[in-house]
Structure 1
Amino acid sequence: MQQPPGFIDPSKPHHVCQLRKSLYGLKQAPRAWFVKLFQALLQFGFVQSSSDASLCVLKGPSPVIVLVYVDDILVTGPSSSECNQFIQKLSTIFPVKDLGPLHYFLGLEVHRSAEGLFLHQTKYLLDLLRKTNMDGAKPCCTPLGSTKLDHTGPLLSNPTEYRFIVGGQQYLTWTRPDLSFAVNQICQFMHAPRKQHLQAAKRVLRYLKGTISAGLWFKKGSLNLTAFSNADWAGCTFHRRSTSGYYVFWGSNLISWSAKKQSIVARSSTEAKYRSLAHTAAEITWIYKIFSDIDFSLSQVPTLWCDNISAISLASNPVFHAQTKHIEIDYHYIRELVLAKLLTFQFVCSQDQLADIHTKFLSKSRFSYLKSKLPLGSMVDPKLSLRGCIKADTEIDKQVVS
C-alpha cells in the first residue's frame, strides 16, 4: 500500500491512511456491506439459511424470503403487503429504490404470463453476439460437433478472444442447460487454446444464434423432487476421467443441472455412474435443506433415476464388495440416505436418460430428442416489455436496489 499520488506527506512518505469506513470498490467493501445488511435483517426477525448464506427468511403465517447479491435484493412471499412492509422498514435504514415486480436481475430476464414464469437471457445473448461479431453468423442445430476436442492444431497467437467468448457462454448456462456440456468441454482448454477450440466456441455461438429467445419455463404442477444422473465412462481422451451430469426437477420444472468432469479416474462404468449418483444425491440434499429453511416440506421422498443397475445396487446394498474397496468412503454416504428413506432409486433405460445431454457428444437427432424433454421454450410474445408485467395473484416478487 502507498499514499495516493498528489497527497503524499513529505514528513511521513512511507505511512498510509487508515480507513475508518469501507469504501465502495475495495475488496472488503461487499463483505462489510453484507455484515451491515445482515445485522439489519436480524433486527427485523429474519433467520439466515444454513445452506445458502445469501438467503434470509422471515418465518410466520406469511413468510418473507430475501435473496441478496451485494446490493441487489430480491424480496418474495405469499403476501404482497408483508413484502411491502419489509421494504418500508429497510428504507428507514438504507436508501432503497423499489423497482417493482421482478423483470430483470443480473442479466436474467423474467416474464410472467398465463402459462407461468419464463426466465431467459436474450439481451445478454444479443450483446455477446454483437461483441464477438457473430450476430450475422449462420445458425446450427447442435452446440458441438461429433468430433471430440483434443490438443492438436496450431496454438492461438492471442487467446484473449477465446477466453472472452467462453467466459460469456459460461454465464448463459444459468438459463440454458442445453449448453452445459458444450461449455464444459471448451472450458478445459482455457490455458492453451488452439484453432479448433476457437472454432468449437464459435459453433456454440452459432447454435445460440438460432435459439436467441430460448429459456426456462416454470409452471404450476406437482411438487415432487426427481433427478436424473448419468456419467460417460472414461470420456476424456487425455486423462481418461469420466464426465458426470445430472438434472434435478421440481415437478416439471428444472431447477438444477450440472456437467462436470470427475476428479479421479473410475475403474469401471459402475464406479463412474456411482460417483455421479453421489454428486446428484448431495445436490438433492442441499435443495432439501433449502426447502426446510423456507418451511416447505416435500410430500414424497425424492427419486433419483439412473440407467445402471449395478450402481443402483451398490447404492442400496450396505455390504462392501471386493470390487468396490477402492471407492472412497465419502461416496458411500448415499447408502445412509437410502437407509434413512430420504432418497429412492429407480432404473431408467438409457434411451430415456435425460442426463445424457450433459455427459457425451450427441448426434443431431439424439440431442434434439433430449432437448425436447426439457422445459425449454421461447417467449410467446418476444416484443413483451420488460416493465409493467402483471403481478401474480398468489405471489409477488420484488426487486430492490439498496
Structure 2
Amino acid sequence: MSEEYNALLAQGTWSLVPLPSSKSAIGCKWVFRIKRNSDGSIARYKARLVAKGFLQQEGIDYTETFSPVAKQPTIRILLCVALHYNWPLKQLDISNAFLHGTLEEEVYMTQPPGFLSAAHPHHVCLLKKAIYGLKQAPRAWYSTFSTFLLSQGFVNSHCDNSLFIQRTASTITILLVYVDDILVTGNNSSHITSLIAHMHTVFAMKELGNISYFLGVSIKDCGDSYFLSQHKYASNILLKAGMANCKPCHSPSSVKPSLSSDSHIPFRQPELYRSIVGALQYLTITRPDLSLSVNQACQHMHAPTVRHFASVKRLLRFIQGTLTHGLTFSPSSFDLQAFSDSNWAGDVLDRRSTSGYCVYLGSNLISWSAKKQPTVSRSSTEAEYRSLAHTTAELTWLQMLLRELQLPSSVAPIL
C-alpha cells in the first residue's frame, strides 16, 4: 500500500485542497490481488487505490470514456510477422498505466483510507491525473500514450487504433498496445532498444523480455514457431465449476437438436452458469473448436435450465481432456484464405441460422467466428449468403490491415 501511495505522489496525481461548496467528492478504496506467473506461481502481491467511479456524474465529472484495445486477429498477425522475418518480439508492461493519463475534467476525491494527511485532514484530493476506477481513466491513458508515440514518428493504423507503425529509410517498428500491455517488434534491434530506453524516461515501465505470457495466454517459443495455449486459465475454470477431476469426453456438445428453454427445470444457480460461460468466452481466443458450443451456451444466459447446465458440464469435460490443446503459429506466406459455412434454421425456437467462418494467413489460423444470424433466413441459400457476407467483411478488413503493414501477398484472398 505504501509503495502504491508513494507512486501516486511521485506522479503528482493529486493536490490537497479544500472542497468547494459547489462540488462533491467521490470516495476511494484499496483493492488487493495476487499476480501470478504462467505456471501459477505467485509473481507479486499488488495493492491498488481505486476511485469509486460509479459516483461520477456524466457531463460533470466526465464526458468521453471510450478507449480502443487491440483486436485478437491483429495480435496473431503480429506473431506471424515476427516469425516470418525472424524479428524479436518484446513485451513491455507500464506500471500504474492509468496514473499517466492527464485529466481534462475537474474531479475531487476523498483522501485514501489509512493515509489521511495530518496537516490537512479535512482536505480532499483534486485529481490532476487519472486513477483506476474513474470512468475516463482508460481514455485519458490511451490519449497520453498515443500522443507520445505520434511525437516519436509513429503512425496510427486506420484499421486498428491500438496498432502503431514507425518507418524510416532503413527501419520499421511495429507497436501494439492493449491497455498497459505492449508488444513491440521490428527489423532493427538497436532501434527498438533505443525506443524502449526513451520510453523509460517518460513512463514507469517494466521490460518483460521476449513474449511468453500475454493477456492470460501462454506463448511458448519453439524455435521456429509459437505455441499459444491457456492451460492455466482452463484449469481455473474447471476448478471454479468443481470439475477439476471430472471424467473427460470426446466432443464439446451433443449432436441432438437444440435445447428447448421453456420445457425444463430452471437451474438453481444462474449466477454460476453465467460466470462459467462468461469465462469460457475468453478461452475461445486460443480454442476455436469451442466457439460454437460456447456461443450456444451464451444464448441461455437470461434463464438457464438444468439441461443447459448439463450441456456446459459436457463442454467442461471436453476441456478436461484437451487442456494441452492450443494454436501453433509457424513462418508462412501472407496469402489469405477463408472458409465459410452456416446451418439453416439451426435453432428450433426462433428458426435463426448460425454463421461460422475461419480465416488463415498462410498456414496460420488468425480469425474465426461462430455466431447466430440477426434475422431469419427464408432458405438455406440465403443463410449461406449471409455467412459469406460476414466472412467477406472480415477478409476485407484483414486485407486493409496487411496493406498498412506493407505485407506482400502473391494472390487474391480465396473464400
Is the pair's TM-score, using the shorter chain for normalization, greater than 0.5?
Answer: yes
After superposition, the CA RMSD in angstroms is: 1.9
* Whole-angstrom CA distance in 2 between matches of 1:177 and 1:201: 16
Counterpart residue number, 2:311: 200
Report the CA distance shift for 1:74/1:158 in structure 2 as closer, same or farther (over 3 A).
same
* Whole-angstrom CA distance in 2 between matches of 1:234 and 1:296: 40
* Whole-angstrom CA distance in 1 between matches of 2:195 and 2:18: 47
1:215 to 304, 326, 331: 326
CA displacement at 1:198 relative to structure 2: 0.8
* Whole-angstrom CA distance in 1 between matches of 2:23 and 2:399: 54
2:194 to 61, 69, 85: 85
Counterpart residue number, 1:128: 237
1:74 to 180, 183, 187: 183
Count of residue correspondences:
298
Pick which of 244-253 and 17-26 moved more: 17-26
Counterpart residue number, 2:160: 52
Counterpart residue number, 2:216: 107
Which runs of 5 or more residues in structure 2 are unaligned? 1-15, 26-107, 109-125
Alignment of 1:9-24 (within 5 A): 12=21, 15-16=24-25, 17=108, 19-24=127-132
Counterpart residue number, 1:246: 357
- Whether the 8 Å contact between 1:225 and 1:303 is mirrored in structure 2 is yes
CA displacement at 1:9 relative to structure 2: 7.9
Counterpart residue number, 1:374: none
- Whether the 8 Å contact between 2:334 and 2:407 is mirrored in structure 1 is no
Counterpart residue number, 2:93: none
* Whole-angstrom CA distance in 2 between matches of 1:178 and 1:64: 34
* Whole-angstrom CA distance in 2 between matches of 1:69 and 1:267: 41
* Whole-angstrom CA distance in 1 between matches of 2:173 and 2:254: 46
Which runs of 5 or more residues in structure 1 are unaligned? 1-6, 305-402
Q: Which amino acid aligns with 1:23?
A: I
Report the CA distance shift for 1:10/1:40 in structure 2 as closer, same or farther (over 3 A).
closer
Alignment of 1:247-286 (within 5 A): 247-286=358-397
Report the CA distance shift for 1:264/1:85 in structure 2 as closer, same or farther (over 3 A).
same
User: Which is bigger in relative contact order (C-alpha 8 A, separation at least 6)?
Assistant: 1
CA displacement at 1:298 relative to structure 2: 1.5
Counterpart residue number, 1:149: 259
2:343 to 209, 232, 238: 232
**2:406 pairs with 1:295:** yes
SS of the aligned residue for 1:92 comes to helix
**2:137 pairs with 1:29:** yes
- Whether the 8 Å contact between 1:59 and 1:294 is mirrored in structure 2 is no
CA displacement at 1:195 relative to structure 2: 0.5
CA displacement at 1:14 relative to structure 2: 6.3
Counterpart residue number, 1:117: 226
Q: Residue deviations 1:285-323, cap 9 Å, x none?
A: 11111111212132110000xxxxxxxxxxxxxxxxxxx
Report the CA distance shift for 1:222/1:8 in structure 2 as closer, same or farther (over 3 A).
closer
SS of the aligned residue for 2:208 comes to strand
Q: Which amino acid aligns with 1:33?
A: W
CA displacement at 1:223 relative to structure 2: 2.6
